[in-house]
Amino acid sequence: MQPTVTIKRLGWLAAATIVLGVLIGVGAGLLTLLLYGVEHVLLGYIEGPELSGPFGVPAARRAISVTVGLGIAGIIWYLLRRKTTAVSSVKKAVAGERMPFWQTIVHVVLQIFIVGSGASIGREVAPRELGAMIAQRFCDLFHIEGVDGIDRRMVVAVAAGAGLGGVYDAPLAGMFFAVEILLVDVTIEKVAFGLGMSAIAAFVAVAIKGHCLFYDITAMQPESTPTLMLFALICGAACGVGGALFRKGSQWAEAHKPTGKAILRQMPLAGLITGLVAIVVPQVMGNGRAAAQLGFSTFIPETAGTAGAMQSASSSAASPWNLLTGGGNVSDSASGGGAGSGMASFWAMLQGGSGSSGSGMNAGFPLSQSNIWMLLGVLALTFVTKALVTLMTIRSGASGGVLQPGIALGSTLGAMLGLVWILMFPTDSVTACALIGAASLLSASQQAPLMAMCLVMELSEAPVSFFVPVGMAVATSSLISKWLLSRKQVDTYILAPLSEGSCRTQ
| pLDDT tens digits along 79-102 | 999 999 989 999 999 999 999 999
| Across 255-270, average pLDDT | 95
Query: Is pLDDT of 449 > 80?
Result: yes
> What distance in Å separates the CA atoms of residue 348 and residue 221, rounded to the nearest whole number?
31
* Residue 431 near residue 215, CB atoms below 8 Å: no
Q: Could you read off the pLDDT of 145-156 as tens digits, one per residue?
A: 877 788 999 999
> What distance in Å separates the CA atoms of residue 321 and residue 342, rounded to the nearest whole number?
13
The C-alpha angle 498, 500, 502, rounded to 5 degrees, equals 70
Pick 265 or 301 by higher pLDDT. 265
pLDDT at 368: 77
What backbone phi and psi angles, to 5 degrees, belong to 351?
-85, 5
Burial class (CB in 10 A: 0-12, 13-18, 19+), 410: buried
pLDDT at 8: 86
Up-side HSE of residue 470: CA atoms within 13 Å toward CB?
29
Q: Could you read off the pLDDT of 160-170 as tens digits, one per residue?
A: 999 999 999 99
pLDDT band for position 361 (cuts 50, 70, 90): very low
Share of the chain above pLDDT 90, in %: 75
* Residue 439 near residue 452, CB atoms below 8 Å: yes
Pick 239 or 144 by higher pLDDT. 239
Up-side HSE of residue 271: CA atoms within 13 Å toward CB?
29
Q: 122 forms bridges with which residues in the sheet?
A: 401
Distances from the Cα of 70 to the Cα of 110, 120, 263, 270, angstroms: 9, 11, 10, 8
* Phi-psi region at 143: left, alpha or beta (left = phi > 0; alpha = psi -120 to 50): left
**Which segment of 296-310, 359-373, 453-467 scores lowest on mean pLDDT?**
359-373
Q: Is residue 122 classed as helix, strand or coil in its secondary structure?
A: strand
| Across 449-473, average pLDDT | 96
| Across 487-493, average pLDDT | 56
pLDDT at 489: 60
Q: How far is CA 456 from the centre of its chain?
A: 10
**Which segment of 88-97, 151-160, 417-426, 497-506 scores lowest on mean pLDDT?**
497-506
pLDDT at 344: 59
Q: What is the mean pLDDT of the chain?
A: 89
| Across 253-277, average pLDDT | 96
What backbone phi and psi angles, to 5 degrees, belong to 479?
-65, -45
Please give the DSSP secondary-structure letter assigned to residue 56: T
Which residues, at least 6 apart from 407, have a Cβ–Cβ distance to it below 8 Å? 288, 292, 438, 441, 442, 455, 456, 459
Query: Is pLDDT of 333 > 50?
Result: no
pLDDT at 259: 87
| Across 125-148, average pLDDT | 92
> What distance in Å separates the CA atoms of residue 296 and residue 423, rounded to the nearest whole number?
18
Q: Could you read off the pLDDT of 32-71 as tens digits, one per residue?
A: 999 999 999 999 999 998 999 999 899 999 999 999 999 9
Query: Is pLDDT of 334 > 70?
Result: no
Share of the chain above pLDDT 70, in %: 88
pLDDT at 416: 98
Query: Is pLDDT of 251 > 60?
Result: yes
| Across 289-297, average pLDDT | 96
| Across 300-318, average pLDDT | 84
> What distance in Å separates the CA atoms of residue 439 and residue 79, rounded to the nearest whole number?
37
pLDDT at 209: 94
pLDDT at 497: 47
Query: Is pLDDT of 330 > 50?
Result: no
pLDDT at 134: 97
Name the pTM for this structure.
Answer: 0.90
Pick 19 or 323 by higher pLDDT. 19
